[in-house]
Amino acid sequence: MRIPPVLTSVPAVLFAACAALALVLVLRNGDGSAVHRAQGPGGKGAITAPKDRSVVPCSAAAADWVGALVDPSRVKAVPGQIEKYSTLRLHPERWKDLPRFDRVDAENVLAYSPDLVLVSPVTHAATVTRMREVGLKVLVVREPTTWPELLETGRLLAEATGTEKRWAEFRSELEARREALQNAAPEPALRLLAYGNFGADSYTCGSGSTIDLALGLSGHRNHAGDLGLQGSATIAAEALLASPFDAFVVSGSEGNSQSAAALRGNPLLQDLAPVTEHRMIYIEDALYSSGSFTILDAAEQIAAQAVGLREAQGDPAGSR
C-alpha cells in the first residue's frame, strides 16, 4: 500500500499498507501546466515520453516499478528506503552505484537533474509544488487496491518512461502468476485477518486496501472486510473475540514479528484460537506495506503459507 519517505509511526506504516486511493496520475509539463491521465481502468489518454528520459523515484513503490521497467542507466538516484522496502534490494549489484537520498525535497531531487520525478501520494504537497515551480515533471504514483488499477499503474508508468515494450512482457508475467493463484485457490477459502500492533493501538486492513487486494489474489477472504471495515482501521480485542476467523496475517517472520508478539502477550487474546494454535501467516515487511506490483508477491506468500497451515494443523475452515 505506498510508503511515506520516512516511516516513523504505526499509522504511517499501515496507511502505506491500507491506502484506499483512486488511481489518478498527474504529469506536469515544464511550464507548470497539468496533464491528467486515466482515472481508473477505463480512462483514456496517454503520457508521451522519450525512451531516454531520466528518472528519480521518491518512494519504495515507485522504485519497484522503476526496477521492473527502466534500465538502471536512466535512474539518477533512489530513496534510501529501498534497502528495506523495495524489490531493488534484491538486486544490489544493479543499483549499488546509484546515489541514495533519505529526505524528499525539491532541492535534493533537483540536484540530480532528472527529466521525470515519481512521488507517492503522501509526499508533502509543498515539496511537489516546489518541484513543479522549478520546472520538474512530477508523476504522482497512486497505490492500486484492485487488479485493474495495478495494471493501469504499470501501463501509465510505462508510457511515462517510454518502456511500453518491457511493460507488455512484464504484464504477461504478472497475469500468468495471477492465473496460477486463481487455479490453485482452495475451497473453502480461509478467513484471514491482517493485524498490526507495534506498541500502541491494534490495526487491521479492511476492504479497499492493498492488503485486501493481496488477500483476494491469494484466494482467501479478508475477514476485516467481511466485518465492514474499510482501509486502515483500528480493531479492538473484543471485536477479534466476537467473530471467529481462521488465521492472522502479520508482518515479519516467525520469531521476529512485533505484531505476533503483541497478540501472544495480550491477556485478552491469549485464548483466541488463532493465537493458541499458532495460526499465523508471516509476510515480509516490504510486502505487508507494498503499494506496487509486489502486492502479488505478498499474495503468493499468503497462499503458500495457507497451504502449509492446512497441512500442519488440518483444515481450519473444514468445519464451515
Structural domains of the chain, with CATH: 24-179 (3.40.50.1980), 186-313 (3.40.50.1980)
Output the pLDDT for position 27: 40
Q: Is the pLDDT of residue 90 over 80?
A: no
> Rounded to whole angstroms, how far apart are CA atoms 202 and 261?
12
Q: Is the pLDDT of residue 273 over 70?
A: yes
**Continuous H helices in 219-320:** 223-226, 237-242, 258-265, 273-276, 285-288, 295-313
| pLDDT band for position 23 (cuts 50, 70, 90) | very low
Give the DSSP H/E element, type plus range, for residue 189. none
Q: How many CB atoms lie within 10 A of CB 134?
A: 12
Which residues are CB-neighbours of 314 under 8 A, at least 6 positions away? none
Output the pLDDT for position 313: 63
Tell me: the pLDDT tens digits for 42-73? 333 334 356 888 999 999 999 999 999 999 99
Tell me: the pLDDT tens digits for 278-297? 999 999 999 999 999 999 99
SS3 label, residue 256: strand
Percent of the chain with pLDDT over 70: 82
- φ, ψ for residue 7, nearest 5 deg: -90, 105
> pTM for this one?
0.81
Q: Is the pLDDT of residue 180 over 80?
A: yes
In this prediction, residues 183-198 reach a mean pLDDT of 92
Output the pLDDT for position 40: 32
Output the pLDDT for position 109: 92
Output the pLDDT for position 91: 79
- φ, ψ for residue 161, nearest 5 deg: -110, 5
Residue with cell 497441512: 311
In this prediction, residues 120-132 reach a mean pLDDT of 93
SS3 label, residue 171: helix
Output the pLDDT for position 315: 62
DSSP 263: H
Between residues 23 and 119, the one the model is more confident about = 119
In this prediction, residues 164-171 reach a mean pLDDT of 97
* Cell (9 digits) for 102: 533519505
